[in-house]
Structure 1
């Protein structure tokens, strides 16, 4: 188990943390039009899931922009998603204002389905802990990173390398 802090204060993550080789749990989150999105909706693709506490904050925005930029290079066999607990309406505004067009921005606000299934729901704050998951075409976790200090950046290159390895 990874010890996680938010602004250097310990927080409790709900759910089991996942590692490479684990089956990727299903989840239901909401698209910006309030339609449900599940893991199965991208079946047969490599998935990079970028998890952020709040889309419209400094590190979260940089993380989202970075993966949006990289997603444009991946091709149709890779689905990139950013998941937060922000309301879908706020995510839609952010997406439009920030010109994010290569990735899905999805909300786990309704019931923390993703957060609890992937062990990233911060109990004290009802936010998601910064993390990244790469899931292969057979729904196995190929890479996971739980960032120990939620306000820090993840290891972008490790996640991108995991996607490239699956594409090879």
Structure 2
């Protein structure tokens, strides 16, 4: 049975339930299976030996998710190639590809959790009521450990970009 956690997030002020474990800094990063914009599978092993900044959004087609992805793209553009930046959502890969092309996104790679919801369930950020992912940020070190985690309390708010970037740069 999947763990259910309450009292962590709200969506437009309404309490929501998160499905999955409470993944914290210091934990081994759970594996996952998502697909990229070419429908190719991507998992934790694809960024082995690199630092991963994983921005998690409900949908790229909303204002806050759009802003968040653009900000991370801009603010990570000068980081070395040993840092990979992902945005994970439930959007279909075709919509992600179209959005990235229109937005000029280059550093951030979009990944879709629509097939198995494995990222959402393994990282404890799948919203039970909406079947969308809760806005969150994870930084995973080269050692495969979670170095930073923020689950944004109100889904419609932006994350703490500075703290996520500082945690990423600290691992360089």
**TM tier relative to shorter chain:** over 0.9
1:111 match? 116
Q: Over aligned residues, Cα RMSD in angstroms? A: 0.9
Q: How high is the TM-score relative to the length of structure 2?
A: 0.95
Aligned with residue 106 of structure 2, among 101, 106, 110? 101
Could you tell me how far apart the structure 2 residues matched to 1:70 and 1:3 are? 27
Question: Number of residue pairs matched?
Answer: 167
2:44 match? 39
Offset at residue 143 of structure 1 (A): 0.3
1:128 corresponds to 2:128: no
2:58 match? 53
Runs of 4+ with >3 A deviation: none
Aligned with residue 94 of structure 2, among 64, 89, 98? 89
Offset at residue 71 of structure 1 (A): 2.1
1:79 corresponds to 2:89: no
Mark the runs of 5 or more structure 2 residues left unpaired by the alignment: none
After superposition, what is the alpha-carbon deviation per residue over 1:93-125, rounded to whole angstroms, capped at 9, x for unaligned?
101111111110010011100000000000111
Could you tell me how far apart the structure 1 residues matched to 2:146 and 2:107 are? 22
Mark the runs of 5 or more structure 1 residues left unpaired by the alignment: none
Q: How high is the TM-score relative to the length of structure 1?
A: 0.97
2:169 match? 164
1:8 match? 13
Could you tell me how far apart the structure 2 residues matched to 1:4 and 1:16 are? 14
